[in-house]
Structure 1
Amino acid sequence: MKDELRPKGGSKEIGPDPGQWALWVNGMDRNYRPFIMPVTWLSFIASLQVTSVKDLGDTEKILSVKEATENLITEADDLFSENKYKELYELLYPYKESNDVEILWRLSRALHHMSKQQCHNEEKKRYVFEGYDLIVKALQLNDSHYAVHKWYAIFLDTRAAYDGIKARVTQLPNVKNHLLQAVELNPKDATTLYILGYWCYNISSMPWYQRKIASAIFATPPTSSFEEALVYFCKAEEVDPNFYSQNLLMLGKTYLKLEKDEKARYYLKLASLYPPQTDDDLQAIKEACDLLKNLEKQQQQ
């Protein structure tokens, strides 16, 4: 049998003689299949080839840029935690023309806080408009980033305020939609939950003349309730307890609207004792103290 399988010419290799092909297939190696290397394997093996010196240099450059950006972001966040908004702005300003969303939304955030600290109206307006332009660019670059949607919502409202009450009312649904998108992308961001609660509270407290404007603009004007506002304020507190004096204040004010004085007093007391670090804290402490005094007067009557 061995000689019959040996090819003509006396070669010692064993293989099917043309005349014996049926025997090879049907008898000795019925399960034989030719091996064809999959494309994915070829790609994987290709990826293991030795990288050129030039490629290694490019990789090092990319890693170096990435590391530098991460260090820049870390420094920016440290400045923000220290309430050094102007220094933060000056740090990131040289990169405002970049397409790095992480830099753009942080620049917008710094400008927002700088505008709140600014007494001169023209400077305040300049900060708002610059921050708005930056966050619009960030949204165009990446519409799947929670912070971009959050700060776009904030600037959408503050920017519209310069165009009058009608413009601001017109943007109310858009503001809420972007806040909801931010929460969907990051449900653990307490600040966004607070802003949503604040939106609901303000809609529920809207003066009659603003409601009239809203009715003229929308077939169905935006609506909310103090109960809905309370849900968001409570969620914010659950995510990050005592993270913001204003959230404690708004919890107290919302419970007052719902005529739950004991719970209102509890949160107003927390707000009044909040360790002040910013102007927002000072404002919250003062308002909480005033509301507590009013509650005491009502109780004595």
Structure 2
Amino acid sequence: MSSTSSFESIFCCCEIEIKFKLIARKMFRVRRLKEISRVVYNVIREVPVSKNPKNVQFPKNSIINIPAPAKVVTFSIIYGLSLFSSSSSNLKYALSQADIFFEENKASEACKILEPFKNEKNDEVLWRLSKALYTLSKDVADDKKKKEMIFQAYDYINQALSLNEKNYAVHKWMSILIDATSAYNGIKAKITQAHVMKQHMMRAVELNPKDATVLYLLGSWCFEVANMPWYQRKIASTVFATPPTSSFEEALEYFLKAESADPCFYSMNFLMLGKTYVKLNNIDKAVHYLKLARDYPQKTSDDKKASEEAESILKKLQ
């Protein structure tokens, strides 16, 4: 029996998807471990990468029942993935896969696939790591752990900015993380950082005018400034010669632009449209957008928050 047929017979005995048979054949057409790792990565990416094959933990109901010879091969593949994790091809794959994970609301998986590249001094890796950590922090109940994650995310985005000041996503996430970290430093710090936040938002819009999230952030900034309580305005007047100013009309303009750029992209944009129309005393439109926020599919903690707040406001308007 040839080596190819014997190798395929091992996989034929395994309780795994038929994909592995096709991969087994492909593996014999490539010679280097680096190439092999790319062939199988799509199938075994759910297995945590470890530089020590003995430490590999297979997901339940995955390939745990593979016969011993096939396990040896699989361990070797995973080990190869670790050895070549810093290659440009794997980096490109990790970035594209991370974006898919973000779209699927799987920030934890995005973080795992990006982490091996965190020391590569790559702004595309760093801003995505920052996004992943910040997103994960929203669901963390422990305040100390939450703070650690937010400040680690801020550190990543700072590194990204030092590497590339012309990346719109870096400026977008810098504005988000400035807001998140300043919340731990009191009202004065938050007000002090208001101008810096807006500068990063405006730079992000300049670099990418069609990004709905940045337009939403600008709308939120305008809403917060327009809705600032008197005591915060007093603090702002002591910090700045010219305190930040805005209006609900300006906030509305940005929220509508965000919706136009990417319809139904974010439950919180619907909520903020509703709240802004309430401030402008346009109750009919406020109710329309608040209902959209309330009924938005709840896939994230933000969706749940938007739905609950929208429901609360709607009850008050009735």
With the shorter chain as reference, the TM-score category is 0.7 to 0.9
Q: List aligned pairs for 1:48-59, cutoff 5 A.
A: none
Aligned letter for 1:248?
A: F
1:89 and 1:72 map into 2 onto residues whose CA distance is 10
1:159 and 1:273 map into 2 onto residues whose CA distance is 31
**1:156 is paired with a residue of what secondary structure?**
helix
Q: Compute the displacement of 1:123 (Å).
A: 0.6
Q: What residue number does 1:251 align with?
A: 273
Q: Compute the displacement of 1:68 (Å).
A: 2.1
Output one character per residue of 1:116-172: Cα deviation in whole Å (capped at 9) or x when no partner: 111111111111111111111110110001000000111112112222211111000
Q: What residue number does 1:233 align with?
A: 255
Q: Compute the displacement of 1:287 (Å).
A: 1.4
Q: Compute the displacement of 1:206 (Å).
A: 0.9
1:293 and 1:160 map into 2 onto residues whose CA distance is 33
2:190 matches 1:168: yes
Output one character per residue of 1:203-229: Cα deviation in whole Å (capped at 9) or x when no partner: 111112211111110011001000000
Which of 110, 132, 139 is the equivalent residue of 1:117?
139
**Structure 2 spans left out of the alignment, 5+ residues:** 1-85
What's the C-alpha RMSD, in Å, of the aligned pairs? 1.2
1:275 and 1:129 map into 2 onto residues whose CA distance is 30
Evaluate the alpha carbon distance shift between residue 65 and residue 94 of structure 1 in structure 2; reply closer, same or farther with a 3 A threshold: closer
Output one character per residue of 1:93-121: Cα deviation in whole Å (capped at 9) or x when no partner: 12111111110000000011111111111
**Structure 1 spans left out of the alignment, 5+ residues:** 1-63, 297-301
Aligned letter for 1:170?
A: T
Q: Compute the displacement of 1:66 (Å).
A: 3.5
2:153 matches 1:131: yes
Q: What residue number does 2:230 align with?
A: 208
1:245 and 1:156 map into 2 onto residues whose CA distance is 22
Q: What residue number does 1:99 align with?
A: 121
**Contact 2:175–2:197 under 8 Å retained in 1:** yes
Aligned letter for 2:212?
A: A
Q: List aligned pairs for 1:146-161, cutoff 5 A.
A: 146-161=168-183
2:237 and 2:282 map into 1 onto residues whose CA distance is 31
2:193 and 2:285 map into 1 onto residues whose CA distance is 33
**1:117 is paired with a residue of what secondary structure?**
coil
Output one character per residue of 1:23-57: Cα deviation in whole Å (capped at 9) or x when no partner: xxxxxxxxxxxxxxxxxxxxxxxxxxxxxxxxxxx
Output one character per residue of 1:153-204: Cα deviation in whole Å (capped at 9) or x when no partner: 1111211222221111100000001001001100111011001100100111
Deviates more, 1:83-92 or 1:147-156: 83-92
Q: What residue number does 1:193 align with?
A: 215
Q: What residue number does 1:283 align with?
A: 305
Q: Which aligned runs of 4 or more in structure 1 are off by greater than 4 angstroms? A: none
**1:206 is paired with a residue of what secondary structure?**
coil
1:67 and 1:96 map into 2 onto residues whose CA distance is 16
Give the TM-score taking structure 1 as reference length: 0.75
